[in-house]
Amino acid sequence: MTMGMIVGNRGFFPDHLPKTGREEMIQALQKAGIDVVTLTTEESKYGAVETHEEAKRLRGAVPLEGRADRPA
């Protein structure tokens, strides 16, 4: 199973929260046998979404073509 994960940050929370929260969630999901699709730390600050532009980057992370649950 693969799950998409959005780590949100409004820019005024302490930086350690999205950083450590993202790391902890990825570890927990992977431990449960779930592959995680999320922004990398190279794509945004700490891999968190702060802007609409960063959110749109997630859209291209998983191709929708050929999936039975989504029209092509």
Question: What is the reported pTM?
Answer: 0.73
Find all residues with CB under 8 Å of 47, minimum gap 6, and list them: 7, 18, 22, 38, 39, 40, 41
* pLDDT for the residue 25: 95
* pLDDT for the residue 61: 63
* pLDDT for the residue 67: 45
Using the structure block, give the residue that is written with the tokens 């431990």: 31
In the predicted model, residues of the chain with pLDDT beneath 50 are: 66-72
